[in-house]
């Protein structure tokens, strides 16, 4: 079957390919659910599991909250960065899964004196995918910014003079170092959360709760 609708008998989980899919697999295993198809080798966007009542949608990381908000998926896994940009409307966020951990930071060219620019009240050009988070962060510091919305490869912007600074997620710092950028301010720690459609939580509680419990147990273990 190629299509799906989130009816009462099915549970639909929205995941993005890559680190979130990979890090969610062990949590699903803890709930007795094995995904039987591999999104890295298959072009299919609806994946089966060993449980005929559970299927997995493969969507862009930024689209996970949208699928869950509208009930096209009953639950999903999304980064706090993505959830803050989405706003969280219609979503219940019961569990911090402690996966895909990183931080949201401000970074600049190695030669740029960020502290002085901020102190002197300079108007900063900031390139980012995370415009809501960035706007809120700089507003709370009283720093005037012109935000430039990008969809990826933020590290390039200061290198070519598109911006003075970027707001992006950082993990090892390897991408910043490779591009001669320095992290000048941490905005917040980031990890991925389980998000549940609020209506599904009521209507499918019996089916969802054991999975939520297994995720909770497995994610707070290590």
Using CB under 6 A, list all residues that contact ligand ATP: 16, 18-20, 60-62, 79, 81-82, 100, 102, 152, 169, 171, 190, 192
Burial 45-65 (b: 16+ CB within 10 A, else e): eebebebeebbbbbbebbbbb
The answer to whether residues 200 and 208 touch, using CB atoms and an 8 Å cutoff, is yes
Residues 148-167 that bind ligand PRP (CB under 6 A): 152
Q: Identify the residue among 2, 174, 221, 222 touching ligand PRP (CB under 6 A).
A: 174
Residue with tokens 């019961």: 94
Q: Name the nearest CA neighbour of 149 among 132, 164, 136, 137.
A: 132
- Residue 140 binding result from ligand PRP, ligand ATP, none, given CB thresholds of 5 to 8 Å by partner type: none
- Name the H helices within 169-204: 174-178, 198-203
Neighbours of 140 (CB within 10 A): 9
The DSSP letter of residue 172 is S
- Residue 14 binding result from ligand ATP, ligand PRP, none, given CB thresholds of 5 to 8 Å by partner type: none
Instruction: State the minimum distance, in angstroms, from the CB of residue 56 to ligand ATP.
Output: 15
Instruction: State the minimum distance, in angstroms, from the CB of residue 25 to ligand PRP.
Output: 18
If binding is defined by CB under 6 A, does position 175 make contact with ligand PRP? yes
Residues that bind ligand PRP (CB under 6 A): 152, 168-175
């Amino acid at each position: 079957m190629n299509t799906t609708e989130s009816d009462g008998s099915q549970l639909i989980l929205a995941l993005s390919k890559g680190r979130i899919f990979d890090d969610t697999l062990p949590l699903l295993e803890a709930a007795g659910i094995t995904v039987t198809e591999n999104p890295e080798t298959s072009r299919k966007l609806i994946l089966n599991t060993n449980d005929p009542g559970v299927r997995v949608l493969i969507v862009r990381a930024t689209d996970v909250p949208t699928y869950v908000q509208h009930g096209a998926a009953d639950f999903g896994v999304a980064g706090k960065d993505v959830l803050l940009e989405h706003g969280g409307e219609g979503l219940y966020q019961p569990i911090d899964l402690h996966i895909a951990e990183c931080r949201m930071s401000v970074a600049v060219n190695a030669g740029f004196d960020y502290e002085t620019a901020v102190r002197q009240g300079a108007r900063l050009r900031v390139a980012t995918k995370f415009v809501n988070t960035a706007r809120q962060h700089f507003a709370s510091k009283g720093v005037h910014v012109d935000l430039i919305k990008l969809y990826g490869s933020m590290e390039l912007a200061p290198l070519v003079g598109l911006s003075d600074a970027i707001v992006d997620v950082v993990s090892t710092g390897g991408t910043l170092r490779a591009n001669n950028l320095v992290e000048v301010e941490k905005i917040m720690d980031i990890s991925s959360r389980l998000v549940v459609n609020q209506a599904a939580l009521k209507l499918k509680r019996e089916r969802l709760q054991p999975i939520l419990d297994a995720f909770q147990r497995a994610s707070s273990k290590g």
